[in-house]
Amino acid sequence: MADGINLSRRGLLRGRLTTPKPGVQLPWSVSWDAFITDCTRCGDCLTACPEQILVKGDGGFPAVDFLRGECTFCADCVDACQAPVFRPTTQTPWEYVAHIEAGCLASAQVFCQRCQDSCEQQAIRFSPQLGRVPTPSIQTESCNGCGACVADCPVGSIRIGLVHGGEAT
C-alpha cells in the first residue's frame, strides 16, 4: 500500500482513496504516513497483544480498541513486528490522555466513579461540589492514556485523544 492508497473495494466504494488515521495509533508507532507505508498488515502485533485490544482497522491496519480493555504498555506488539513501524520503547509510548465527554453520568447528577476506580495512575479525580454530585477531571500530567477507564464507563463518555496545551482533546 504505497502512498496511503486504499485499493480495497470497501474504500473505493465509499469514495475513500486513503486509509484514515485511527483515533489512537499503536504505542510507540511512527507517524501514520510512515506506518501505513511500511506496515505489512501481517497481524503479528494483533496476536502478540496479551490484552487483545489490537484489532484490524481500516485497510487491514492494526488499530487500538479500548472497549476490549486497556493497554499495559508491555511492548509485545513492538517485539512481534518485523516492519520498521515502531520507535524505541525507551521513549514515551504516545501522547494520548483520557477525555471525559458531556455524556458523563455526573453531568446528569448521577453518582458514578467507575472511571476513577479503574485508573491505576490515579489520573481521574472527582471534585465535590455543594448541592451536586462530584464531577470528574483528568490530571493530564498523570494520565498515560492506557484506556482502562474507557471500557469501564457505563455510558461510553470517555475517549482517548491527544493532549494539547495541558487539555485533553
pLDDT tens digit string along 65-101?
Answer: 999 999 999 999 999 999 999 999 999 999 999 999 9
User: CATH number of the domain that 64 lies in?
Assistant: 3.30.70
More confident site: 3 or 49: 49
pLDDT for 2: 43
* Same domain? 42 vs 73: yes
Q: Residue 6: what pLDDT?
A: 45
Provide mean pLDDT across the span 114-120: 96
Residue 169 lies in a domain: no
Assigned C-alpha cell, 84: 520498521
Q: Total domain count for the chain? A: 2
Average pLDDT, the chain: 89
Q: In which band, very low, low, confident or very high, does the pLDDT at 17 lie, cut at 50, 70 and 90?
A: low
Percent of the chain with pLDDT over 70: 86
Instruction: For residue 109, tell me if it sits in a domain.
Output: yes
CB 87 within 8 A of CB 25: no
Is 5 domain-assigned? no
Domain CATH code at residue 119: 3.30.70.20
pLDDT band of residue 19 (cuts 50, 70, 90) is confident
pLDDT greater than 50 at residue 3: no
Pick the range with the lowest mean pLDDT from 5-9, 47-51, 61-65, 116-120.
5-9
| Backbone φ, ψ for residue 158 (5° rounding) | -120, 135
Q: Domain check: are 104 and 137 in the same one?
A: yes
Let me know whether 109 and 148 are in one domain.
yes
Q: Which segments are annotated as binding site?
A: 39, 42, 45, 49, 71, 74, 77, 81, 143, 146, 149, 153
Block residue for cell numbers 480495497: 8
| Domain with 67 in it | 22-80
Domain identity same for 27 and 76: yes
Q: How far is CA 153 from the centre of its chain?
A: 15
97 vs 88: CA distance, rounded Å: 20
Would you say residue 154 lies in a domain?
yes
> Has residue 20 got a pLDDT over 50?
yes
Bridge partner residues of 126 (DSSP): 136
Query: Last residue of a domain, which of 56, 80, 104?
Result: 80
Among 9-18, 87-96, 148-157, the minimum mean pLDDT is found in: 9-18
Query: In the chain, what are the helix, strand and coil shares in percent, each to the nearest 5?
Result: 25, 20, 50
Whether 76 and 134 map to the same domain: the answer is no
Confirm whether 4 is domain-assigned.
no
**Rounded to an integer, what distance in angstroms lies between the CA atom of residue 115 and that of residue 157?**
10
Same domain, 75 and 113: no
Are both 71 and 118 inside the same structural domain?
A: no
- Nearest CA to 158 among 102, 93, 94? 102
Do 110 and 140 belong together in one domain? yes
| 72 lies in the same domain as 111 | no
Question: Which of these, 34, 86, 76, lies nearest to 54 by C-alpha position?
Answer: 76
C-alpha to C-alpha distance for 5 and 114, rounded to whole angstroms = 41
List residues forming the annotated binding site for [4Fe-4S] cluster.
39, 42, 45, 49, 71, 74, 77, 81, 143, 146, 149, 153
Q: Name the grid cell of 122.
A: 490515579
